[in-house]
């Protein structure tokens, strides 16, 4: 197990703000967009969520790592965060399922981290100034000149305009068998899909075919799907024109569609709406969302820095000719669009995470809603 260290490390933000702490995980230099996540649990799921690729994640909960790392809870094949910021890493691992410490896991996946800084101060700064580029410097890099560190941070690519799907997607198709009564094949475009999503879809009777992000409509048709699903993922939806084009082909072919997170943004763009970058995004497991179809308020898990620009009241026509569309879900903290529903074609999406590992599970019913939509479409086709 990695022991506590006094090796120095520094977090540098692009506005010149500096926070000096201790090295945690791997040593070296890492650059990315600094964002904060408010969950008090589920750090393993956060670290292994591909949507965090290209980002340095700050945990607002002060004590991280007490349950270690295990082989049951990862959301993907590796840790994806570019860097990790915590205040007080646990000195011991206290969970019977753990087979590694968090510090060791960070080191094994070459993730440069920092501990021992005032994470509340960094969070408050980002809340005021907005998400920004940053860098963590430790080991030999901790001795770089302050101006050189800042130069490296400001030279890093911004998240706006980045397409990261190819970095996180599978290289070849992968299949997960349906659980229980089989509905049919489901084409899942892997833009950074989480394991919990795959399991939830399989438990609804879908044979889940996870496809690489660069497939064509012919590749989708080749598996004879009953529906198509777009996953969560990192990057700017405005930089994913090919994925939007494929989705328009999917909608025009009449396949039922469900999208989560990045998939919601891409559905919005396919329907003809714009997207924009949020000041500091939504990341955590305690975000209140209104489901306008039921009037119910749900506590939900989020991880998104972009949002769809669509009217939140009433019904509007799709600018791209797909009929009537309504905003189905709204974030109650800031009125951000959190879901879309097409009224004339079988398609809907949500911006948050109904698979929600590690919780909450208020929105898990959306997988049932998708299953029911697919079954209704099959009945309609058989008439």
Token pair listed for 198 = 């795959």
Exactly one of 33, 45, 261, 302 is catalytic; which is it? 261
Residues 6+ apart with CB under 8 A from 245: none
Exactly one of 125, 282, 304, 353 is catalytic; which is it? 353
CB count within 10 Å of CB 372 equals: 12
For the chain, what's the residue count?
A: 383
Cis peptide before 172 (omega within 30 of 0): no
Print the SS3 string covering the chain. CCCCCCCEEEEEECCCCEEEEEEEEECCEEEEEEEEECCCCCHHHHHCCHHHECEEEEECCCEECCCCECCCCCCCCCCCECEEECCEECCCCCCCCCCECHHHHHHHCCCEEEECCCHHHHHHHHHHHCCEEEEEEEHHHHHCCHHHHHHHHHHCCCCCCCCCHHHHCCCCCEEECCCCCCCEEEEEECCCCCHHHHHHHHHCCEEEEEECCCCCHHHHHHCCEEEEEECCCCCCHHHCHHHHHHHHHHHHCCCCEEEECHHHHHHHHHHCCEEEEEEEEEEEEEEEEEECCCCEEEEEEEEEEEEEECCCCCEEECCCCCCEEEEEEEECCCCCEEEEEECCCCEEEECCECCCCCCCCCCCHHHHHHHHHHHHHHHHHHC
CB-CB contact of 81 with 134 (8 Å): no
- 125 noted as active-site residue: no
Residue 217: name the closest of 265, 180, 251 by CA. 251
CB count within 10 Å of CB 253 equals: 12
- 355 noted as active-site residue: yes
- 261 noted as active-site residue: yes
Exactly one of 45, 298, 326, 355 is catalytic; which is it? 355
Catalytic residue IDs: 261, 353, 355
């Amino acid at each position: 197990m990695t022991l506590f260290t006094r090796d120095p490390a520094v977090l540098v933000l692009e506005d010149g703000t500096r926070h000096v702490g201790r090295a945690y995980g791997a040593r070296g230099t890492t650059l990315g967009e600094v964002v904060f996540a408010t969950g008090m649990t589920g750090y393993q799921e956060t670290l292994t969520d591909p949507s965090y690729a290209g980002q340095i994640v700050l945990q607002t909960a002060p004590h991280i790592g007490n349950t270690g790392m295990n082989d049951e809870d990862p959301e993907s094949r590796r840790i994806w965060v570019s860097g990790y910021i915590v205040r007080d890493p646990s000195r011991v691992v206290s969970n019977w399922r753990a087979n590694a410490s968090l510090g060791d896991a960070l080191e094994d996946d070459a993730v440069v981290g920092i501990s021992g800084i005032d994470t509340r101060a960094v969070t408050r700064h980002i809340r005021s100034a907005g998400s920004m580029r940053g860098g963590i410097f430790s080991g030999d890099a901790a001795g770089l000149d302050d101006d050189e560190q800042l130069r490296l941070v400001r030279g890093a690519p911004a998240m706006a305009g980045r397409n990261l799907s190819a970095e996180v997607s599978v290289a070849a198709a992968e299949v997960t068998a349906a659980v229980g009564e089989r509905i049919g094949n489901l084409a899942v475009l892997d833009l950074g899909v989480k394991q919990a999503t795959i399991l939830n879809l399989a438990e609804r009777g879908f044979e889940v075919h996870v496809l690489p992000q660069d497939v064509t409509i012919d590749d989708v048709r080749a598996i004879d799907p009953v529906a198509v699903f777009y996953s969560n993922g990192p990057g700017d939806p405005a930089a994913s024109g090919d994925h939007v084009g494929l989705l328009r082909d999917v909608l025009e072919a009449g396949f039922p569609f469900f999208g989560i997170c990045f998939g919601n943004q891409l559905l919005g763009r396919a329907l003809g709406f714009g997207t924009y970058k949020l000041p500091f995004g939504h990341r955590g497991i305690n975000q209140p969302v209104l489901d306008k179809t039921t009037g119910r308020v749900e506590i939900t898990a989020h991880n998104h820095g972009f949002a769809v620009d669509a009217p939140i009241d009433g019904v509007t026509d799709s600018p791209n000719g797909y009929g009537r569309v309504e905003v189905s879900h709204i974030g109650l903290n800031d009125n951000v669009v959190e879901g879309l529903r097409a009224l004339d074609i079988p398609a809907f999406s949500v911006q948050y995470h109904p698979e929600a590992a590690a919780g909450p599970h208020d929105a898990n019913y959306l997988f049932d809603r998708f299953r029911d939509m697919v079954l209704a479409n099959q009945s309609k086709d058989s008439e």
